[in-house]
Structure 1
């Protein structure tokens, strides 16, 4: 056996998944040097295998059908070994192992003898590689095909980019470069392995009874609570049946990690999170991995272009400004209500300007579906709103309108609210133009920020601390951002302030989120989107517990 085959086997056998199939690899002796004689039979077989992928065929034609996987060079052997090793770890990333035809590849490696066989194997491995590379880098699913609410842009690399990149790189380093390189993705991978280990050990033990527990309580329910928190890593083991200060601190930490108010009282919401099964947390991690693959494929994440970004996590009800991936501002948010056409979509955009003392132009859907029926009963309702003609802006007196003559299809007027303290947008809005007409803004309804689940808007995102948010945005272009902002605010006129540097805004939806130290917290699936995505992933072949070989 040649030296390069011996080296190839040593590399491959290090992986236990492939070692179990080593007998098949032992027969990997290609009898001919395809690269030396571009055999017609090889080409025909390769093209037939790639019949549905014109991009891959174009690449092979461009390279004169030079094999990537199946010639007798050490480079080709290294690519085979690196790819097989990568496929053997696909389960770690919650990918659909069966989609990559690993069994068929092993059979081809074992049995291929002729040019025709090698052409079929070459095509099979290329198709498998392209599917794997795109899945692990940009996601198994196309977001917009799962739900119209998943409107984030995903940039897909070209077939030529993948194949030429593989051909021109160290194959092991290239395979390792394909998954997202973000800290978030790495933290999720580690959390998934911990949860799998926990599930194998039987989970987190008995459930906590549905009692309200607080400091000073004692008894079996407190013991169950303590044991559950010990199993989850929030407490050191103890036999105490008393709800003491140590247990209180653990409860509050658990509540913070799960998006609950940290009041230390174990009520229905806290117990529901405590009693969530490991399998459900694994589903959240699986979906979060897929979402992170989508997210890191956005062109707006290029650190060479944008050092600052804004992240709004819908399930967390927060908005953050990050500089060099470090949170420099954080505030609570209110997001779209759990109603048809009011949930906030997921997408990214570029924040370009803010409007101080904004006018609120009432969305058409609100005007005709909500306000018109009320105006038909009482023409003076919502008298803080002005009616106007949309073509020229002419103000129309309500006294001149018989609202009962109109329905939502033929109502000819629009509505707006002039700048004021009571304006629905508050005193400032932050604009990143998009087809969804979503933006961030102030609000006069401050009490809603003290709700635990803040799903109350028509889709836009309300901020608890909009002035401080504005100051942080302006600090990069003004020596005194507070004074500049307040001066514009005091004049009472609608004022547009352009941002000299546009800032990426990412509206995300994560029910599994990591902290800088790698700890994973969980949030509720408020819109049910994780359920939809997980179902689509399972239909694509992703399993909660993958085949371990």
Structure 2
């Protein structure tokens, strides 16, 4: 069964009853029926032996026959691929209707649908207003003299409510969108999808208690609950709002005073980063003191910006973002966390968050703190693919086999301008596996777009891969690696690579991969890449010429596997940290998710598809 797709039969059913909705709106608006306050009586429902109240429904529709409704339900659902199985399981007994309209169950369900905004979703994804309109119309006695219409509306109500419950539960457990269809070729992470076992259990749960089934489907992961909590807080703050900071291009340094600094302070007070000292001499908060600068850097950390000793246009622009900016991020990431990866994490795990340009390496069997490192990721033009794998080996002193695209678009172009470029960068040319003398080529006649030589860059400090790379199976020929270009790690925007992931702390990551390691092992690794040992024992062994080098290829033991995910989150948490962090949507992937979750966008797409 395709995820979240409606069948043509379902669309036809909804369209068939759309003509009633306008009629409902007029009649529901006009009716003002007050139920008689006479004593209610109880009877036993023939459909499932539950005790129900003989309510307005029984009085308004005394000729109502459940068996007629059951036959009609059977006729409507027999050829419906979504609903057929569940109503076979209930023997075509309605889920939401017994001998009378089960208003308590239906209105509880409607309340749950209307609260789905807490999950960053629209109630209209689940036809909430349609369900309420039909339930109100029947419950109010609008069709008291038209029982045939009542049967038709009740069938529509039953079908749409059940379909919405299935959609709600399935989406909460697996996501309402398919990441592969959103990210297309740049996504190679396997996520769970509902199967026949899931649907069999789902139908049984809905048959037993649809309300409990709906409530139990809501995700309960710590990160998801944190997102819901933050979403609720931000929606409250959104109503308060804040004053825009209009300081222009001015940069404020420690000790500077300005009326706009007060606006910065007020903004940070609102979101909790700044808690002014009540005994401060600067009661107006117009001075950039150490306390306020610390709060600004807290804001920067939460937004994945580098910390600084001053405040300029970039940070003020971020401070001016409306709360809807963050609400949209949370909506998109709640959906991401509803997707369920099928690959399990090993005890040693590496997670790269492309959006934040950060790496976290964690060992659940170790007491050591997680390794957290900045990384550089692919540019918007050369996106880093999202994938799952295991680290297979480390390569010390790697040779860089320059990709053809880079050889043609960059190296050949630069060599034409500067005949010393290839030699200065410690590169060599090959043709048919044999080395070619760079000086033997007339570079003036070379067309870079047709450049067919193989280029390799020898190991060393200037190698584009640095001194170590981390290899893993993947369909994109990407890897994690060191880099000689260290300055990029200090930038806010670190989406600068050709697609591979450059690691700011490559040696710490190497020690994590090889862990547990001794101090001497660390010195062996340093010595292997022509760096001096650090420990006293290592220095002694080197002096005695007994410090051994490690092999250039260090395989990862299959009994100590290291899982790897390269993924994309713009709202996330770090291990052992209760704070929610944000990252810029550098690849505009949030928009793909939000558009797919927008019921108006979905409706437009259906029109186009037709």
Q: Normalising TM by the smaller chain, what interval? A: 0.7 to 0.9
Aligned partners of 1:419 and 1:492 also within 8 Å:
no
Report Cα offsets for 1:222-253 as digits up to 9, x if no partner.
Answer: 22222222222223365343333332332232
Report Cα offsets for 1:384-406 as digits up to 9, x if no partner.
Answer: 2233346xx34344456556666
> Where do residues 433-472 of structure 1 align in structure 2 (5 Å cutoff)?
433-472=473-512
Task: Confirm whether residue 335 of structure 1 aligns to residue 377 of structure 2.
Answer: yes
2:354 is matched with 314
Note closer, same or farther for the CA distance 1:240–1:497 as it changes in structure 2 (3 Å cut): same
2:298 is matched with 253
> Where do residues 101-120 of structure 1 align in structure 2 (5 Å cutoff)?
101-106=127-132, 111=138, 120=156
Note closer, same or farther for the CA distance 1:242–1:427 as it changes in structure 2 (3 Å cut): closer
2:228 is matched with 189
> Where do residues 508-519 of structure 1 align in structure 2 (5 Å cutoff)?
508-514=567-573, 518-519=578-579
Task: Confirm whether residue 395 of structure 1 aligns to residue 416 of structure 2.
Answer: no
> Where do residues 497-536 of structure 1 align in structure 2 (5 Å cutoff)?
497-500=555-558, 501-514=560-573, 518-536=578-596
| Distance in 1, Cα, partners of 2:496 & 2:385 | 14
1:156 CA drift (Å) = 1.3
**Whose relative contact order is higher, 1 or 2, with alpha carbons under 8 Å and at least 6 apart?**
1
From 298, 313, 317, the counterpart of 2:341: 298
From 244, 248, 251, the counterpart of 1:212: 251
| Distance in 2, Cα, partners of 1:29 & 1:408 | 85
1:446 CA drift (Å) = 2.2
2:274 is matched with 235
Indicate the larger mover: 491-500 or 255-264: 491-500
1:92 CA drift (Å) = 1.0
From 170, 175, 181, the counterpart of 1:139: 175
| Distance in 1, Cα, partners of 2:307 & 2:557 | 37
1:420 is matched with 460
Equivalent residues, number = 513
| Distance in 1, Cα, partners of 2:471 & 2:298 | 35
Note closer, same or farther for the CA distance 1:233–1:389 as it changes in structure 2 (3 Å cut): same
1:197 CA drift (Å) = 0.5
1:285 is matched with 330
Aligned partners of 2:350 and 2:563 also within 8 Å:
yes
Aligned partners of 1:358 and 1:495 also within 8 Å:
no
Note closer, same or farther for the CA distance 1:206–1:450 as it changes in structure 2 (3 Å cut): closer
TM-score, structure 1 as length reference = 0.79
Aligned to 2:273, the other structure's residue is in SS state coil
| Distance in 2, Cα, partners of 1:73 & 1:385 | 83
Aligned partners of 2:513 and 2:556 also within 8 Å:
no
Aligned to 1:527, the other structure's residue is in SS state coil
1:167 is matched with 204
Note closer, same or farther for the CA distance 1:364–1:77 as it changes in structure 2 (3 Å cut): farther
TM-score, structure 2 as length reference = 0.72
2:162 is matched with 126
| Distance in 2, Cα, partners of 1:80 & 1:28 | 18
1:546 is matched with none
Note closer, same or farther for the CA distance 1:541–1:480 as it changes in structure 2 (3 Å cut): farther
1:267 is matched with 312
From 148, 152, 156, the counterpart of 2:193: 156
From 264, 269, 272, the counterpart of 1:225: 264
Note closer, same or farther for the CA distance 1:528–1:115 as it changes in structure 2 (3 Å cut): closer
Note closer, same or farther for the CA distance 1:266–1:42 as it changes in structure 2 (3 Å cut): same
1:186 CA drift (Å) = 1.2
Gaps of 5+ in 2: 1-41, 139-146, 277-282, 531-548, 603-610
| Distance in 1, Cα, partners of 2:245 & 2:62 | 57
| Distance in 1, Cα, partners of 2:50 & 2:521 | 63
Note closer, same or farther for the CA distance 1:502–1:164 as it changes in structure 2 (3 Å cut): same
Aligned to 1:248, the other structure's residue is in SS state helix
| Distance in 2, Cα, partners of 1:73 & 1:415 | 79
Aligned partners of 2:122 and 2:599 also within 8 Å:
no
Note closer, same or farther for the CA distance 1:437–1:286 as it changes in structure 2 (3 Å cut): same
Aligned partners of 1:204 and 1:232 also within 8 Å:
no
Gaps of 5+ in 1: 11-21, 543-549
Aligned to 2:372, the other structure's residue is in SS state strand
Aligned partners of 1:98 and 1:541 also within 8 Å:
no
| Distance in 2, Cα, partners of 1:452 & 1:9 | 63
1:528 CA drift (Å) = 3.3
Report Cα offsets for 1:361-407 as digits up to 9, x if no partner.
Answer: 111211222223344555653132233346xx343444565566665
Aligned partners of 1:93 and 1:136 also within 8 Å:
no
| Distance in 1, Cα, partners of 2:500 & 2:487 | 17
| Distance in 2, Cα, partners of 1:80 & 1:159 | 27
